[in-house]
Every structure is written in C-alpha cells, then in structure tokens.
Structure 1
C-alpha cells in the first residue's frame, strides 16, 4: 500500500488533504507533519531551509512527500520533495491567456510568481492581493475568509485564476463559471495518478 506524506504549516490542511487522498486514491495511507513556525519565520524573512529539511525527514519512508505550503515550496523542492503548487502552476500555463494570481499572505507572492514563470517565462500574470482576508483565516472564520477572496476575484479579467495558498481552495466554489485552480486537488491527483499508472 502506497503512502503519501505531507508537510503543512497549518493544522487545518490535515483534514483537507486526508479527505482528498480518501477520495482520489482510496487505499493510500497518508502521514502529516505540521509546523506553523516555518511559515511564521519565512514571513519574517528568517532562513528556514534546514528546518524544512528536518521536518521533511520525519516523513521518510513515504512513497511520495509533498510540501503543501507555497511560501516554502522552493526550499522543499531543493530538499528533493514535491512542492504542492507545482501541478497547479503547470495546469495554469496550459490554459494560457491571462493568469490571475490571488494571494492572502505577502510571502506567497514571490514564490508563486517565480513558479509560474518557471513553467512559462512569458506567462501573462495579473496579481490580485487578498491580504485583508488573512485575518479571518487566522481567527478561524473560514467562511468569511473564502467570501472575501471570492469578492476580490469576482471582477478580475483573466482566463484562469490561481489560488496561491492551499487554504484558499474552497473559494473556488464561490466563483461559478470561472476556471479556478488550487493546489490541494491538483497535487494529490498528479501524485497518485502517476504512482498508480
């Protein structure tokens, strides 16, 4: 039986990814390590690469290891694991046209735009800061968090919307008729389909 290991920076992601594994890859096991201090320190501009590697080492033995935090995704890739937003970025540039990049934490902007440019140096990006939403995530008011993000995106002119952080994913359900990509489903689907194939 295959095992997928996840490194998260918020406890709320455990349930999200566990449900996706159960839905998309029944029979797979999932393991989770959660360390909110990695995101907090990265947001403060502190080096986290060695600590990212140490936390990832706790998932040794898993068939696949994914770092779900977009802010520390580059550090995770350098450590030899999959960054959770890479399949989403690949899908976004495949759609083509203008790509709206929505983010609720400033520290996510540079890693996400760099990732999209890595997939397509000529990608046409429009940046959509949703910084006012983050306080609702931090206070546990998740419904309001998703609403504020969706309100900010409702009038954005773009062919595809990228939700830069996994915590933003449910906001996609509030944007009917739009192509909205988020990392959780994309990465679980990408990883488990490759392994099963």
Structure 2
C-alpha cells in the first residue's frame, strides 16, 4: 500500500490514473488535507508540521511503509515528519528536481503559488549538491492562474501556465513546481525540456512501496 497526501481532491483521480499506467495493482490510500495548504500559505509550512505528523502516524498504524506527498509547498515538512516516525516519505517533486539538475545549470521554476518557490528552490539546490553540480534557479510566478484553478477553470489555468512557459528565455530546463500544473507540459514545445512531478514521483514512490523495481507493471525507465 502507498499512502498519498494531497492538498486538493482534484489530485486523487490524477494519481489513480497514473497508478493504473505505472504500477497496476498497487493499492493507494489518499489523504486529502486542503486546510493544511491554506494554513501553510498564511503561516508558513512549519505551521502544519504537527498535523502532518499526526496524519502520517495514522498511516503507519494502518500498515503504511511509504507515503508520497503531492504538495510541493509541504514536501520538506512531510519528509521530516516521516523521518521522525520511521516512515519513508517522498515528496513528489524530488525525482523531477534531480532530473532538472542533470539537464542543465540554468533552471527556471514556474509556479502558480508563491509559497511553492522557497521549498522548490531549496530542493533543487539540495539535489544539485548531491550531484556535485552548480546550478542557478530563477523563479517565475504565473499571475492569476491559481485563482482560475480554485474557480474550477482548469482550461484557463493550464493555458496561463503554457503561455508563461513560452515567455521564458535563457533557461536549459523549465520546472513546473506544482503537481496541478503537469497537464500544461503535454505537447508543449518551448525548445527546452518542461518537467512535471506527478508521474516520476508516483513511479519512484511505487518502487519504494513494493521494494522491487521489477514489480509487475512498474516502469523503470
């Protein structure tokens, strides 16, 4: 079983579909906590640490061995909470960050929530240090996009993200910082790779949960 911690119910069907493609047969347990993102935006990610630890402790009691945090803003706090409980917690954007670092030194981070920038930049720099590479990270906010997402205007949300990505210059790779942004990368040609976290994050977490990269239906490339 793999536990997924979300801050929007819209992520549930997305990750169910990815599970069906990447690791069919793997049981997912979805925890949806939108109130944690609201508080993190207002008071900082550390303000939800105890709540995350309580949620993850419940998952451990339920038999979970691995959890995936699909919210970039809460990722580092979730990983720390998991470590305190002896639970393997992977933030969904960590594999994406590692790929970005390997792609090139000039990394542009695109986000629709300003609260995502600090944890995402810190993660990229952490992965750069691990890889022994020097990188520069530039952040770009997509104005007005999050309000469209909250209003249920998915098409408008994704169009705004794609438009902002097309305006980016002097970058070797573009990182879409939030899982909700991933569909904007589909078919988007801006001359450099555009990376999104959900698929690679789910794939890596599934490998951890099964303990076997040869798990039936699990892609390893």
> Structure 2 length as normaliser, TM-score?
0.84
Deviation string for 1:4-47 (max 9, x for gaps)? 11000000000111111111001111110001010000000151
**2:161 and 2:184 in contact (8 A); partners too:** yes
1:24-173 alignment runs, 5 A limit: 24-45=22-43, 47-60=47-60, 61-80=63-82, 81-121=89-129, 122-157=134-169, 158-173=171-186
Contact 1:69–1:165 (Cα < 8 Å) also in 2: yes
TM-score norm. by structure 1 comes to 0.93
C-alpha distance after superposition, 1:108-144 (max 9, x if no partner): 0100001111111532212111132111100010111
Structure 1 runs of 4+ aligned residues shifted over 4 Å read none
Q: Is the 8 A contact 2:12 2:30 kept in 1?
A: yes
Deviation at 1:178, TM superposition (A): 3.7
Aligned equivalents of 2:183 and 2:140: distance in 1?
Answer: 17
Structure 2 residue runs of 5 or longer lacking an equivalent are 83-88, 214-221
Mind listing any 5+ residue stretches in structure 1 that lack a counterpart?
Answer: none
Q: Indicate the RMSD between aligned Cα atoms, in angstroms.
A: 1.4
How far apart are residue 174 of structure 1 and its match? 4.8
| Distance across 2 between alignment mates of 1:193 and 1:83 | 14
